[in-house]
Chain A
Amino acid sequence: MKALCWRGKHDVRYETVPDPVIEEPRDAIIKMSCCAICGSDLHLFDGFMPTMKSGDILGHEFMGEVVEVGKGNSKLKVGDRVVVPFTICCGECEQCRRGNFSVCERSNRNKDMAEKMFGHTTAGLFGYSHLTGGYPGGQAEYVRVPYADVTPVKIPDGLSDEQVLFLGDIFPTGWQAAVACDIQPTDTVAVWGAGPVGQFCIRSAVLLGARQVVCIDNVPERLAMATAGGAITINFDDESVLERLKELTQGKGPEKCIDAVGLEAHATRSIDSMYDRAKQAVMLETDRPHVLREMIYVCRPAGVLSIPGVYGGIIDKLPIGALMNKGLTVRTGQTHVNRWTDDLLRRIQEGQIDPSFVITHQVSLADGPEMYKTFRDKHDGCIKVVMKP
């Protein structure tokens, strides 16, 4: 079969690889019908995530048709149409029973590696380094899905691939980030980053009834899409984020702040971002936490910081004094996708939201390597790339 393979930093190739096979009784094989490039795939593309190996198949946003089912899987049958969440979960461990699917205790095949890095294991993820299990990803014609009697979400007829594909990652990720803010009708929610996850954070905050949603970025077409979704926008190239947020909140700051940027913050005009770049260049810091610092500084005391943006390692110069003295609550983590999918699928069916709004490019899988660059460079107005075999 054909797949997009990671061959090193800035090197993704469309290659022929062996077809996947059923390895465990609960497995299923999915024939991919639609997949996407996620912003967090760019962290792999840019070489920020450790434990990648040359030849690893990328991709964790995908859906398709079940073509083979293991003997121990009674949930799925051949022909079922499913979206596959990026977090692989067993459904039986203590964390899965609590709904904390992204920290499933059993699905990561490389627990030792994760325990050394993070202290404890986290869930296995598709196509996202060997730290998270080394599972082949979904940017491929066929994908083996472990624990396929728990992880995949069956899709009813009448909805297009484009409407439901993002149930596997970015829609629940934006939703969880907003839910974690416990939004009240009087709240101002500030969202850093107008990429795909940021766009879903905005829509989720609007759906959940925030009084005011503010989005911070510097890419005009992304800000235009944020405005369309109901956000007031701040272009950090043109105006001071801190001053504008204060102005919008009568000097009090937003009650809820969401970091939908993560480890590759691209702010360039602040001293701290230059410091981060310098330290990162000499490998004294892995991530660039400019957004975290800004959120801690601007958030209203007793507010909430929600962090769906991906961080990978070590950061520096975090103003812990402000965080502590302001009594801020921090909520973060990979998304517990299966916790939200039923509810979000219903909202799509009811017409509350059509997630396909975020798609700006549809290409064939073979064009994936070029689209990684286009997406990374934000060229051509690119916000979300969807690929088909």
Chain B
Amino acid sequence: MNMTTHNTENTLRSVPPRNAGVHALARGLGFFSLALGLAELAMPRRVARVAEMGEPDDAGGLRHLAGQTPLPSSQTVVRAYGLREVGVGAGLLATADPEPWVWGRVAGDLLDIATVALAPRRRSLFGRSGGSRTGTLVALVAVTALDLYCAEALRRERMARQARPHDWSGRSGFPQGTEATRGAASDFEVPADMRTPELLRPWKQGQGQGRVG
């Protein structure tokens, strides 16, 4: 794009392009967050099963006997994470500046990875959980990489924009200076249909008697 500025004051040197692809990716991540969050809220047991997250029942019981607070169940954790995802997704879709929300996703990804990796293994009657912890972790790492790429691209775009001079503080528009121009058009006669109504003009003693209703 061939772009120049007319005014020589504070001339723009170049134009930082808006990376439409990255903004579209951020929006896509917003929809993904929203969908995942709703799934986690609606089907926490299934999500926990896919991630091979077991219940800390035994440990919880022992902690309870020891007078400690039991660990939350995997379903509670999944629901809480679902709320987080819905919030981030809504934020990403509503905002004009997705960067902080995408960094929020990156933080959430790390939390997800830690949670899945450290959760007790799910046990089932037949020795199969119906999910794959390794698969879940691979998927989480892949999503984290995508989030990191998006966040970094948005950060670079922001830095590029901030690095450019958009200083219009020399653009008065008054060739003779602002203060010298103040009131230069006071010779202008305001048309009758745009004057302050007589009723609202400064009132003088004895003027307009009977106006006050």
Q: Which residues of A contact B (CB under 8 A)?
A: 99, 162, 179-180, 182, 185, 199, 203-204, 206-209, 221-222, 224-225, 227-230, 302, 304, 327, 329, 331, 339, 343, 347, 351-364, 367, 370, 373-374, 377, 379-381, 383, 386
The stretch that binds A, out of B34-42, B80-88, B160-168, is: B160-168
- Interface hub of B5, B166, B167, B186 (most chain A Cβ within 10 A): B166
Q: Indicate if B212 sits at the interface (CB-CB under 8 A).
A: no
Query: Which B residues, 9 to 41, have Cβ-Cβ distances below 8 Å to chain A?
Result: 12, 15-16, 18
Residue of chain B at shortest CB distance from A200: B173
B3/A367 in contact, CB under 8 A = yes
Q: Indicate if B128 sits at the interface (CB-CB under 8 A).
A: no
Given A207-B181, A329-B196, A329-B200: A356 in contact with B7 (beta carbons within 8 A): yes
Given A229-B173, A357-B7, A364-B2: A381 in contact with B166 (beta carbons within 8 A): yes
Specify which of A203, A224, A370 is in contact with B173 (CB 8 Å cutoff).
A203
Specify which of B96, B171, B185, B196 is in contact with A209 (CB 8 Å cutoff).
B185
A381/B168 in contact, CB under 8 A = yes
Q: Can you give 16 contacting A-B residue pairs, CB < 8 Å?
A: A179-B188, A179-B191, A209-B183, A209-B186, A224-B167, A225-B168, A229-B171, A229-B172, A229-B174, A230-B174, A304-B196, A352-B175, A358-B171, A361-B3, A374-B15, A374-B18
Interface size on B, residues (CB 8 A): 41
Is chain B's binding surface mostly helix, strand, loop or mixed?
A: loop
Given A206-B182, A362-B4: A180 in contact with B169 (beta carbons within 8 A): no
Q: Indicate if B1 sits at the interface (CB-CB under 8 A).
A: yes
10 residue pairs, one from A and one from B, having the closest CB atoms: A381-B166, A357-B173, A209-B183, A207-B185, A225-B168, A221-B166, A224-B169, A230-B178, A209-B186, A357-B171
Within 8 Å CB of B167, what residues of A? 221, 224
Q: Indicate if B6 sits at the interface (CB-CB under 8 A).
A: yes
Given A228-B168, A370-B1: A347 in contact with B185 (beta carbons within 8 A): yes
Nearest CB of A to B199, in Å: 8
Q: Indicate if B206 sits at the interface (CB-CB under 8 A).
A: no
Within 8 Å CB of A381, what residues of B? 12, 164, 166, 168
Residue of chain B at shortest CB distance from A230: B178
Q: Indicate if B204 sits at the interface (CB-CB under 8 A).
A: no
Given A182-B196, A225-B168, A230-B172: A379 in contact with B185 (beta carbons within 8 A): no
Given A203-B173, A327-B200, A352-B176: A182 in contact with B195 (beta carbons within 8 A): yes
Within 8 Å CB of B210, what residues of A? none
Nearest CB of A to B196, in Å: 4
Given A99-B191, A203-B174, A207-B185: A302 in contact with B200 (beta carbons within 8 A): yes
Residue of chain B at shortest CB distance from A386: B6
Nearest CB of B to A204, in Å: 8
A207/B184 in contact, CB under 8 A = yes
Specify which of A162, A207, A329, A370 is in contact with B197 (CB 8 Å cutoff).
A329
Given A180-B194, A209-B182, A329-B197: A351 in contact with B175 (beta carbons within 8 A): yes
Complex Cα distance, B173 from A354, in Å, reads 5
Within 8 Å CB of A206, what residues of B? 174, 178, 181-183
Q: Indicate if B170 sits at the interface (CB-CB under 8 A).
A: yes
Nearest CB of A to B90, in Å: 13
B178/A228 in contact, CB under 8 A = yes
Q: Which residues of B contact A (CB under 8 A)?
A: 1-7, 12, 15-16, 18, 96, 161, 164, 166-176, 178-179, 181-186, 188, 190-191, 194-197, 200
A179/B200 in contact, CB under 8 A = no
Nearest CB of A to B186, in Å: 4
Complex Cα distance, B210 from A267, in Å, reads 44
- Interface hub of B164, B170, B175, B196 (most chain A Cβ within 10 A): B196
Residue of chain B at shortest CB distance from A351: B175
B3/A357 in contact, CB under 8 A = no
Specify which of A180, A351, A360, A373 is in contact with B168 (CB 8 Å cutoff).
A360
Specify which of B6, B16, B179, B185 is in contact with A380 (CB 8 Å cutoff).
B16
Nearest CB of A to B84, in Å: 22
Complex Cα distance, B6 from A194, in Å, reads 20
Within 8 Å CB of A339, what residues of B? 191
Complex Cα distance, B8 from A359, in Å, reads 11
Within 8 Å CB of A380, what residues of B? 12, 15-16, 161, 164, 166
Nearest CB of B to A301, in Å: 10
Within 8 Å CB of B176, what residues of A? 351-352
Residue of chain A at shortest CB distance from B23: A377
Nearest CB of B to A349, in Å: 12
Complex Cα distance, B168 from A209, in Å, reads 23
Complex Cα distance, B203 from A302, in Å, reads 12
Residue of chain A at shortest CB distance from B166: A381
Within 8 Å CB of A354, what residues of B? 173-175
Within 8 Å CB of A358, what residues of B? 171, 173
Within 8 Å CB of A357, what residues of B? 7, 171-173
Nearest CB of B to A198, in Å: 13
Within 8 Å CB of A179, what residues of B? 188, 190-191, 194
Specify which of B12, B173, B178, B194 is in contact with A355 (CB 8 Å cutoff).
B173
Residue of chain A at shortest CB distance from B14: A380
Specify which of A208, A227, A373 is in contact with B169 (CB 8 Å cutoff).
A227
Nearest CB of B to A278, in Å: 11
- Interface hub of A329, A351, A381, A386 (most chain B Cβ within 10 A): A381
